[in-house]
Amino acid sequence: NAGVTQTPKFQVLKTGQSMTLQCAQDMNHNSMYWYRQDPGMGLRLIYYSASEGTTDKGEVPNGYNVSRLNKREFSLRLESAAPSQTSVYFCASSDSGLAGPYEQYFGPGTRLTVT
């Protein structure tokens, strides 16, 4: 049981390049999330997916796109990277429903630097 896995662990991009961050979970969770973590700002939600086939914007969606490929996988794409997107990106998953609260399970993170 690997939990939530993310690839890659580290990435350096030049401004304007594109890339996709991959995330997979093996806990059969319905909900998946992408966050970015910046010093002194905690975690901010970029996008989330409440179920396979649905995605919704979070607090800071600009410059990102997501795909919920199936129940296990949720990818985050930067189409044209900017230095402001230098951050640590975390994927998370959770059970969902009003009967909660269901805690989130986090991946190990991807450290992205855009030069």
Partner 1 sequence: AQSVTQLGSHVSVSEGALVLLRCNYSSSVPPYLFWYVQYPNQGLQLLLKYTSAATLVKGINGFEAEFKKSETSFHLTKPSAHMSDAAEYFCAVREEDNFNKFYFGSGTKLNVKP
According to the binding rule CB under 8 A, does residue 2 interact with partner 1?
no
Q: Within 10 Å of residue 99's Cβ, how many Cβ atoms?
A: 7
**Are the CB atoms for 55 and 49 separated by under 8 Å?**
yes
Tell me the closest approach of the beta carbon of residue 16 to partner 1, in angstroms. Answer: 28
**Which residues sit opposite 18 in a β-bridge?**
none
- 53 lines the binding site for partner 1 (CB under 8 A): no
Interaction between residue 16 and partner 1 (CB under 8 A): no
- Judged by beta carbon, residue 31 or residue 85, the one nearer partner 1 is 31
Does residue number 42 form part of the binding site for partner 1 (CB under 8 A)?
Answer: yes
Binding part of the chain for partner 1, among 13-21, 68-76, 78-86, 106-114 by CB under 8 A, reads: 106-114
Spatial contact of 31 and 94, defined as CB atoms under 8 Å apart: yes
Could you tell me which of 101, 93, 97 has the C-alpha nearest to residue 49?
93
Neighbours of 22 (CB within 10 A): 16
What are the residues binding partner 1 (CB under 8 A)? Answer: 4, 31, 33, 35, 40-45, 48, 50, 56, 58, 90, 92, 96-98, 100-109
